[in-house]
Structure 1
Amino acid sequence: MAADMVERNESGQDAHRISLLEVIEDRNRAMNKKYLVHRLVYISKIRGTNVDRTAVGNHYEQLTKKLAADYPGSEPITGLMLIYLKHIVHIVETSSDLILRLIQDLRAMELDEESYVSKSKILVVSHDINTRLYQQWQFRTLDIVEHGIEAYDTNESFENLIIEVLTQLLKLGVFLFKQPKLNLKNAMDSLHDKVPEHLPQQSVVHYLLEENDSSMVTPQEYIEIYEKPFDTSLESDMVWPIPTRLFPYN
């Protein structure tokens, strides 16, 4: 009887309970993920009227390669940059440290009068996405002429407009994800002809950029989250004498 109890105790001590961290790590190993992958979506206004839009795309292409070289163990950068006549819509999938570097580059360009971008707004940062919609990073210039961009007005809330833009981009990603590799380039070159409903309207992008709303943050505001010290004073810290905590749950 005693021997049976010893065996039960030993088996109970040896029994391993799987934690949530282990489940996440196993899932990441199965998906060949080194770190958590996050999705960044932001919009920008191109500085000036005579900017070479291909040069804008090349700048970001070189930036993604440089970040990949600077952070060899991090998650690769994938996504799609849509370069309109006056605006940029960029969706990026990568690790959190590279997202911060991309946003820091945005802030640097806003301060540089000779850069390609004059202002930007971050629409969303989605954490720990399950699946990448974009298998590589690419850009496309869109020669879509849309009249009355500056005069656009709507009764829709900013939240609804942002959701509309994000929904379009996610549907665009699903469309490209389902394309055969041999047909992907043709699909990318004819987005306006095949899936115009998945492309955000330039008037909506302009409206979101020009208006100030708490639903969106600027690159500077996002960076301040990481740079500002986190100092919090609790009410108990302002009491003297300091209350004695006899139990950890008091």
Structure 2
Amino acid sequence: MTEGQKERVNKMEDMKAEEKKERGTSLFHCRMAQQKDPEEDMKIVLQRLIVAAPLPHDLGDGTEIGARYEKFKFQLSKKYVCENMTGLLLIYPSCLLHVIESSREVLLSVLEDCSSLDAPKVVSMTHNLQSRLFQQWSYKVLNADHGPGNARDLLEEEESTETLVCTVLSALHKLADQLETSKKALPGPVLDENPELIVPQKVLQKLLAQEDLHTPERHLQMYCSPLHISMDFGQVIRSRVLTSV
């Protein structure tokens, strides 16, 4: 075999070895992809939005608005397939309280939809949650007799927005704890058995009268406001500050 033939053989062997190496690397990546947790890419940054709104007196029994939000939730589930929405919609004779737990995109869609309500207010928006209060979304229509009997005394003592919001959050967390203890999936039966866990309607009415609570439009405007960078101090300052309770 001449030197030229040996050189060509060596080159061919080198090419085959390189091709084999590439195939091995590709197979390795394929195996790693197969072992990857399929839910890892579907994890979302969980957020919670709580909205309150007054209702017209001629609403009826409230089931119409419950069915309307049930349909809206179904539409969101088709649009955001991997972003499960959970929460609770409480429909009182004079107002509603809506708790939504999902991704940023779902919550923004809910805020935009709030324009269909009359004078809604954002009670709270919390980011980067570790767990959900509710494992499903559901609604419950309440009558005037539902709720704790000492709501009037509660209101006389709790006048500030911060205290009223804390009252709402405390009741929701107690309800979530009771759901976990009773092993029930939906909060409706739990609220029937434990009416003291219902957020009093008078508390929500007082909250809706507070001027320092943002409307959904104002909240969206502030949430989407641009960042202003100060080159002198090397600080990033949001032009409008959002507060999360």
TM-score in same-fold range (> 0.5): yes
1:55 aligns with 2:64: yes
Structure 2 SS opposite 1:118: coil
C-alpha distance in 2 between matches for 1:81 and 1:163 = 18
Q: Tell me, which stretches of 5 or more residues in structure 2 are unaligned?
A: 1-36, 235-245
**Which residue number corresponds to residue 45 of structure 1?**
54
Q: Give the RMSD, CA atoms, in angstroms.
A: 2.8
CA distance in 1, matches of 2:53, 2:98: 8
Q: Take 2:227 and 2:96, find their aligned partners in 1: how far apart are those partners?
A: 33
| 3-state SS in 2 of match to 1:212 | coil
Deviations 1:35-77 (A, max 9, x none): 111111121111342345101011111111101101123x200
Deviations 1:147-176 (A, max 9, x none): 998xx6556321111101110011112212
Question: SS of the residue aligned with 1:125?
Answer: strand
Matched length: 192
**Structure 2: which amino acid aligns with 1:93?**
E
Using structure 1 for the length normalisation, give the TM-score.
0.67
Note if contact 1:79-1:134 (Cα within 8 Å) is conserved in structure 2: yes
Residue range with higher mean Cα deviation, 227-236 or 51-60: 227-236
Greater Rg by CA: 2
1:64 has 2:67 as partner: no
Indicate if the aligned counterparts of 1:133 and 1:177 stay in contact, CA closer than 8 A: no
CA offsets, 1:199-220, max 9 Å, x none?
Answer: 111111111102212xx22101
Letter in 1 for 2:70: E
8 Å CA contact retained: 2:48, 2:129: yes
Q: In the superposition, relative to structure 1, how do residues 207 and 68 fare at CA in structure 2: closer, same or farther (>3 Å)?
A: same
User: Which runs of structure 2 are paired with 1:101-180 in the superposition (5 Å)?
Assistant: 101-106=109-114, 108-109=115-116, 117-145=117-145, 154=157, 156-180=159-183
Q: Is 2:57–2:93's contact at 8 Å kept on the other side of the alignment? A: no
What secondary structure sits across from 1:119 in the alignment? coil
Superposed CA deviations along residues 121-146 of structure 1, whole A, max 9, x for unmatched, are: 11111111111121110000011248
CA distance in 1, matches of 2:101, 2:182: 19
Aligned to 1:223: 220
- What is the letter of the counterpart of residue 199 of structure 1? I
Letter in 2 for 1:39: R
Match of 1:85 among 72, 80, 93: 93
CA distance 1:230–1:78, shift in 2 (3 Å): same
- Using the alignment, how far apart are the partners of 2:181 and 2:158 within structure 1? 35
Distance in 1 separating the partners of 2:224 and 2:133:
31
